[in-house]
Chains A and B, each alone.
With several copies, the nearest count.
Chain A
């Protein structure tokens, strides 16, 4: 779907991280967790390309999708100036999202902005009555966006921050390992850190359960036409936008 839609909310969640809501019933009704949209809403050709953002919440009842993004460059800086009523071009939903969680329970493990695409997954698992264990890390407490939502939809949430501002210092993948010993997990979902991804992969292989990772790459078209966004997989290069952004973890070459 390529359409023009209206911004309904923009708020700075913590310094440099924003929440953006867009009213688009069509996309809200089609999207599922792990998918993304390409968004553009500025005049002129600098920056030129649309920016890919993962769905952070898909509210098909309100006809709204929610994104959470960090200002890292000019595109996201411009984005942060959009106000309710501003009209933006949205192409989406795009890509293959996360395979639907199955009982008894799933683990999600993410770091920093990598927790963004995990939230709708956690929310949908909860809606389906599937258990959720969330393992979240960030450099500091502020980097853990919407921790309350993760808490309210998870059986248990483990939090680690590099500076110890929330949760004891430590490695969240070790928490996952510990939990996996005592809990039956059907799958692990991962995003936002190569290190965590490698740890999750090894654990999943050991547990013989599937594990998935959501990847990022610079994108041109977002639909598989330009072959610009490849990552290395065991079969050679795969298109992050079309073959992913979610891949089976042990298919990916890190």
Chain B
């Protein structure tokens, strides 16, 4: 049996499959199809410094092969998170990744500081797609803010930092380099794509927040392309995500250069998805004669096109 362990810089996972932040419950909000401890990691929904209600409903709208969400990062605040959620996360017995979302660069620092000494956290993921206070663009779309936010977190924690990049940029590889230079260890490629739907009968946007982020199979080829580019231009471990539903999709990301994958919307349509993906990757490696996941990371770059 091929080895499924993957090493993402300072972080080692027993297999390359984890949920995407905000799409999977590790405790009671679990559809109960399998034990989250089987996952390479669990990833919590992004947490804020202070409690926040999130966006007004409707928060979801379906599109062809996609889902737009404008949930808006409701949060119980970091203190309540540490008190109420961390015990559940720890209990899963696998690697725990906590996603944080700030409204200012400093808040990323503060969140990192608060979470650094909490037992049971293995890495912090910075959700950089949140709009920031006092500036038009989210952190992930502004090179300066991006560097500030990542540096602020880096300055306050020794935990591995995953920078979850926005795909809504001209050059995601350049932005990734900025995040790495500012201290990120791992890149998550990528978050949702800006999108919206208008109700032609009400003649207004469907979502309470007007626009939101598109996820699901519709964006998979866009995410694969982003992983491919970043892999080519940046030396850093990549967690790939965007529209992964089946193990075949996950293998596609690995071949493009991801070392691990995050699964989002698929958890909604098939609560067994992540388990099936873990098994499917294993089966692919075995049947294709590979010895480990690492063997296929980025492999599609190196095999010459034979015709």
A: which residues have CB within 8 A of B?
A: 1-2, 40, 44-50, 89, 91, 217-232, 236-237, 242
A239 to chain B minimum Cβ distance, whole angstroms, is 9
26 example contacts (A-B, Cβ-Cβ < 8 A) are as follows A44-B65, A45-B245, A48-B269, A49-B62, A49-B268, A50-B269, A89-B270, A91-B31, A220-B23, A220-B67, A220-B265, A220-B268, A221-B267, A223-B25, A223-B271, A225-B22, A225-B23, A226-B60, A227-B59, A227-B71, A228-B59, A229-B57, A231-B57, A236-B53, A237-B53, A237-B57
8 Å CB contact of B25 from A47, A225, A237: A225
B: which residues have CB within 8 A of A?
A: 22-25, 28-33, 45, 53-54, 56-67, 69, 71, 74, 216-218, 245, 265, 267-272
A40 CA / B270 CA spacing, docked (Å): 9
From A40, A217, A219, A230, residue with most partner B Cβ within 10 Å: A230
A229 CA / B67 CA spacing, docked (Å): 13
The answer to whether B74 touches A45 (Cβ under 8 A) is: no
Could you say which residues of chain A place their CB within 8 Å of the CB of B61?
Answer: 218
Closest to A47 in B: B62
The answer to whether A227 touches B270 (Cβ under 8 A) is: no
The answer to whether A223 touches B29 (Cβ under 8 A) is: yes
Could you say which residues of chain B place their CB within 8 Å of the CB of A229?
Answer: 57, 59-60
Secondary structure call for the B interface:
loop
Closest to B220 in A: A45
8 Å CB contact of A228 from B24, B31, B71: B71
Could you say which residues of chain B place their CB within 8 Å of the CB of A91?
Answer: 31, 271
Per CB-CB distance, the 4 closest pairs between chain A and chain B, nearest first, are: A225-B25, A224-B29, A45-B65, A228-B60
B249 to chain A minimum Cβ distance, whole angstroms, is 11
A91 CA / B272 CA spacing, docked (Å): 11
Could you say which residues of chain A place their CB within 8 Å of the CB of B62?
Answer: 47-49, 218
A220 CA / B66 CA spacing, docked (Å): 11
A227-B45, A230-B54 known; A46 vs B32 contact (CB < 8 Å): no
Closest to A227 in B: B71
8 Å CB contact of B60 from A40, A89, A218, A225: A218
A91 CA / B65 CA spacing, docked (Å): 20
Could you say which residues of chain B place their CB within 8 Å of the CB of A218?
Answer: 57-62
B160 to chain A minimum Cβ distance, whole angstroms, is 24
A218-B58, A225-B30 known; A48 vs B66 contact (CB < 8 Å): yes
From B22, B245, B268, residue with most partner A Cβ within 10 Å: B268
8 Å CB contact of A48 from B28, B58, B67: B67
A220 CA / B65 CA spacing, docked (Å): 13
B38 to chain A minimum Cβ distance, whole angstroms, is 15
The answer to whether B265 touches A225 (Cβ under 8 A) is: no
A197 to chain B minimum Cβ distance, whole angstroms, is 15
The answer to whether A220 touches B60 (Cβ under 8 A) is: yes
The answer to whether B265 touches A48 (Cβ under 8 A) is: yes
A223 CA / B25 CA spacing, docked (Å): 8
Closest to A94 in B: B31
The answer to whether A44 touches B23 (Cβ under 8 A) is: no
A217 CA / B58 CA spacing, docked (Å): 8
The answer to whether A45 touches B217 (Cβ under 8 A) is: yes
Could you say which residues of chain A place their CB within 8 Å of the CB of B32?
Answer: 1-2
A26 to chain B minimum Cβ distance, whole angstroms, is 12
Could you say which residues of chain B place their CB within 8 Å of the CB of A237?
Answer: 53-54, 57, 74
A74 to chain B minimum Cβ distance, whole angstroms, is 9
The answer to whether A45 touches B54 (Cβ under 8 A) is: no
A136 CA / B245 CA spacing, docked (Å): 40
8 Å CB contact of B33 from A2, A44, A242: A2
A2 CA / B30 CA spacing, docked (Å): 11
The answer to whether A225 touches B29 (Cβ under 8 A) is: yes
A230 CA / B74 CA spacing, docked (Å): 11
Closest to B69 in A: A228
A245 CA / B63 CA spacing, docked (Å): 24
The answer to whether B271 touches A2 (Cβ under 8 A) is: yes
Could you say which residues of chain A place their CB within 8 Å of the CB of B58?
Answer: 217-218
A15 CA / B61 CA spacing, docked (Å): 27
Closest to A44 in B: B64
Could you say which residues of chain B place their CB within 8 Å of the CB of A223?
Answer: 25, 29-31, 271
The answer to whether B268 touches A221 (Cβ under 8 A) is: yes
